[in-house]
Structure 1
Amino acid sequence: MKVTIDNVVQIADEVLVTFSTDFGNAAAVWSGVPPTIGACHDVELEIEESVVWGESAIPAPKEDCSIGVMDGSINLTGKIISVDAEGVVVFDVGGSITLIEIVGFTGAAPIFVDLKVGRLVLFPTGV
């Protein structure tokens, strides 16, 4: 995913960034050397927490990718491309693919879903 860095703050050992994409704005932990404000980066997304179907993951009302912040949570809307027997899904947010476990998901792919997470990590790809 292409992001533009809007702000950078270092708190203890973590670098926190706010960023913009073609799909919206959010905040995340930055993995690596702190970026420069205004710089554009290609990043991979990582969701480190459990996501539970019916609670922090629900069917999306529309088939559009988005990213944003609401009520202290990071909201991601994207498409589940595939799911394995253990509930690990391939999740696509505007071409950025990530693997996450959605506990209790038994649906069929493809399906657009809304995720609410407390923490998002960005890994610059160097591309």
Structure 2
Amino acid sequence: MLLPGSEAWQLTIYLGWQMHGVPGGMVAGGLFELHSVVVPIGLANLFVLWCQPLVAMEILRLLYPLVEVGAGLAGVLHGRFRPDLLRPSQHRPCQTAAVPVPALAAAACRTAPWCPPSART
């Protein structure tokens, strides 16, 4: 039997609690939630290693402003709380291919919700 998210989480905690008490329930619930932290961090690291932030928009179907806000928020938080992590890199910058302007405009219209449906084809 497959259960949706919250019911499966509750059942996991309940079974952990029944078998091992409060610590078992806490460990079971924490391990159940672990994948929701590890998978996005792993995907983000892959996107950074490939030097292609547009992969995030294609695979995860995120809107460009959402990716930009997320990157800006990450930079602000790192700068405020851990500025020592933002030292200059020793690696070469990413090599990006030149994309013609019409292709960029077409990609923007396909992902932008404010474009009319006829422009997204």
Normalising by structure 2, report the TM-score.
0.20
Q: Relative contact order (alpha carbons < 8 A, sep ≥ 6): 1 or 2 greater?
A: 1
Mark the structure with the bigger radius of gyration: 2
Q: Which has the higher strand share?
A: 1
